[in-house]
């Protein structure tokens, strides 16, 4: 019943539960899984200082590697599950914006995500990015612990 299922990943094991649920739902409904990883905007690092560029480059390389690994994992699991899969990396947006934006662009009809990701504060029961997605999403969101 869901044809295009968006699965955000933060590259940690917190998102694997959501991925597995999305793959099962996609398999049942002959749908496609769309994996998305978002890199938030880089920190502002005083560009007038010479140091900024190399630090920023190193930071960006690390983020890019993380993103590539995260979506590569989704492609591999989708391949194993026999589920059609597309992946995308979004750079320069906070995760919740990237998720909402991608869901719209990719004409998704469901978002499957963890109740919290890597930014989660220990005391908070539901992640702030997840909560923002719930408030702004036009399509159903399946939230997993």
Partner 1 sequence: MADPASTPPATDPPPGSQSSSQPGSQPGSQPSTQPDKLPGRPLYKRILVPTDGSDVSAVAEHAAVEFARAHGADIVALSVAQPYPAYAAAEASMAVDPGLDNEALRDAAERNVRRVSAAAAGAGVACTPLTVFSHSPSDAILDSARDHGCDLIFMGSHGRRGLSRLLAGSETQKVLAGADVPVMVLRPKPAAG
Q: Which residues lie near partner 1 (CB under 8 A)?
A: 1, 3, 21, 24-25, 27-32, 39, 41-42, 64, 67-68, 71, 75, 78-79, 81-94, 97, 100-101, 115, 125-126, 131, 134-145
What are the φ/ψ torsions at residue 41 (nearest 5 degrees)?
-60, 145
Determine contact, residues 108/6, Cβ cutoff 8 Å. yes
CB of residue 138 vs partner 1: minimum separation in angstroms? 3
Residue 12 or 105 with smaller CB distance to partner 1: 105
Residue 9 or 39 with smaller CB distance to partner 1: 39
Determine contact, residues 139/2, Cβ cutoff 8 Å. no
CB of residue 116 vs partner 1: minimum separation in angstroms? 10
- Beta strand spans in 17-116 (E): 32-39, 85-91, 110-114
CB of residue 85 vs partner 1: minimum separation in angstroms? 6
First to last CA, the chain: 23
What is the CB-side half-sphere exposure of residue 128 using CA atoms within 13 A? 6
CB of residue 12 vs partner 1: minimum separation in angstroms? 18
């Amino acid at each position: 019943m869901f044809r295009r299922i968006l699965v955000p990943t933060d590259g940690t094991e917190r998102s694997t539960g959501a991925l597995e649920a999305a793959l099962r739902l996609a398999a049942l409904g002959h749908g496609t899984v769309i994996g998305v990883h978002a890199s938030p905007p880089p920190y502002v690092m005083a560009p007038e200082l010479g140091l900024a560029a190399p630090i920023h480059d190193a930071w960006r390389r690390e983020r890019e590697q993380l993103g590539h690994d995260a979506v590569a994992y989704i492609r591999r699991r989708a391949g194993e599950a026999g589920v059609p899969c597309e992946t995308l990396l979004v750079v320069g947006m906070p995760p919740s914006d990237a998720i909402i934006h991608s869901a719209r662009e990719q004409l998704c009809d469901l978002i499957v995500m963890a109740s919290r990701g890597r930014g989660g504060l220990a005391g908070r029961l539901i992640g702030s990015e997840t909560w923002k997605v719930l408030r702004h999403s036009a399509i159903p969101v399946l939230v997993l612990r």
